[in-house]
Amino acid sequence: MDAMAEPARGPRESGAAMGPADRRAGEGGASSSSGDGASSASGDGASPSPGKVDAPSSPGDDRALPARIDEHVRAAPADEHVRAAFVDACRLDVETAKPGNVSVDSEGHGMSAAQFVASAEAAADALLARRAPVGQRILDAVARTRAAVGCNTNLGIVLLIAPLAAALEEVPRPLGAQAWHAATERVLARLDIDDARLAYRAIALANPGGLGDAPEQSVHHAPTVGLRDAMALAAARDSIARQYAEGFRDIFETGLAALREVPAASLHTATLNVFLRFLGAWPDSHIVRKHGAAVAQSVTLAARARHAQWLRTLDEAGSAAAGVPLQAWDAELKAATINPGTSADLTVATLFVALCLAQPRHSGGSRHAP
């Protein structure tokens, strides 16, 4: 988010016209702080036994998610479940070894996995504040993160989760991906200039690296349009901004489909698949801002090839063997200070949605969102 500039995740950055900052120094779009990938603490070494789970046949397919996700989410009252889903998504991010990202097994970019987990705990209540405007959720979450860790670690994640959490309050139970996707579109359509003002303040507070300027609706000036309109101006160059402009289609379609593409034996394996799918789909906004379009494109092409190789080895020899080439690539990327932060932010948003959708079907009380 140039104008709005996406923060670096690690800090992750973003560079959209209004471009939010990227928490991981991730992509361009709205802010995304992709900073750290994560090396799976549990490392799912054993070769998953089940066959591959088919990707949804259509957007919003509500088929059951991998069994491991259901096991991962604790049965709890709605609010606690959603909070746990958010924090667990952030934990999975840094527990999964992802090339170029910070993880529990491979720190880098001047950050640690512990900072990302602390940031998730600090931001959770602000992001999930019932009936709070999206802009207020963003500002409060960034302020709490700064107070907790003293730097920008999660701007991109905050920008992505705030509208998703607001929409979740409007979705009837049991949750379904199609209903949540539709509710997210309604929330985005209602975003106004107050949301933009608050989001601009949040981005300024996060002070993401690589924050540039933009010809229209720069975060360096007061907004004159609503938050979604401002994001739309940056959508072509910032993946987070694109989610605001296009109704989070990449999360509900590309992300959830990628989560179902690999055997369900491990959430860490599924998390890595989602990350590689995003990284190979388009240039990472954070890399574009930090290193330029040519470098970002080269990383995207490499990600496609390495993802295909990883999937082949995963089928033939298991996750431990499949991960060896990615470990070497991780070292190469970090040596060159390349951090695919935006791709990591999009992965966290996908995990949040998936973990919420895995919520127990027997929720009592109101059939409306927590």
Would you say residue 34 lies in a domain? no
From CA 367, how far away is CA 370, in angstroms rounded? 9
Task: Work out the percent of the chain whose per-residue pLDDT is above 90.
Answer: 67
Residue 159: inside a domain: yes
* pLDDT tens digits, 243-252: 999 999 999 9
Q: What are the distances in angstroms from CA 280 to CA 78, 298, 300?
A: 35, 10, 5
Rounded to whole angstroms, how far apart are CA atoms 312 and 316? 6
pLDDT score for 247: 98
pLDDT, mean of residues 74-99: 86
Given a cut of 70, whether residue 338 has pLDDT beyond it is: yes
For all residues of the chain together, what is the average pLDDT? 81
For the chain, the domain total comes to 1
The answer to the question of residue 37 being in a domain is no
Residue 47 has pLDDT above 70, yes or no: no
pLDDT band at 212 (very low <50, low <70, confident <90, very high): low
pTM of the model: 0.81
| Domain CATH for 153 | 1.10.4200.10
- Give residues with Cβ within 8 angstroms of 123, minimum separation 6: 141, 142, 144, 145, 154, 157, 158
Query: Among 347, 342, 325, 328, which Cα is nearest to 270's?
Result: 347
243-257 in b/e form (b: 16+ CB < 10 A) is bbbebbbbbbbbbbb
Domain contains 231: yes
* pLDDT value of residue 313: 97
Residue 324 belongs to a domain: yes
Please report the pLDDT score of residue 48 as a whole number: 30
Which stretch of 10-24, 34-48, 230-244, 320-334 has the lowest confidence by average pLDDT?
A: 34-48
pLDDT at residue 81 is higher than 70: yes
- Confidence at residue 363, expressed as pLDDT on a 0 to 100 scale: 39
Q: Is residue 20 part of a domain?
A: no
Residue among 290, 293, 119 nearest 211 (CA): 290
Domain housing 223: 67-357
Q: In terms of Cα–Cα distance, which of 217, 296, 239, 197 is closest to 32?
A: 239
Specify the pLDDT at position 28.
35
Identify whether 285 is part of a domain.
Answer: yes
Strand, helix or coil at 23?
A: strand
In a domain, 289, yes or no: yes
Instruction: Report the sign of the C-alpha dihedral through residues 325, 99, 278, 337, in that order.
Output: negative
Measure CA of the first residue to CA of the last residue in the chain; give whole Å. 31
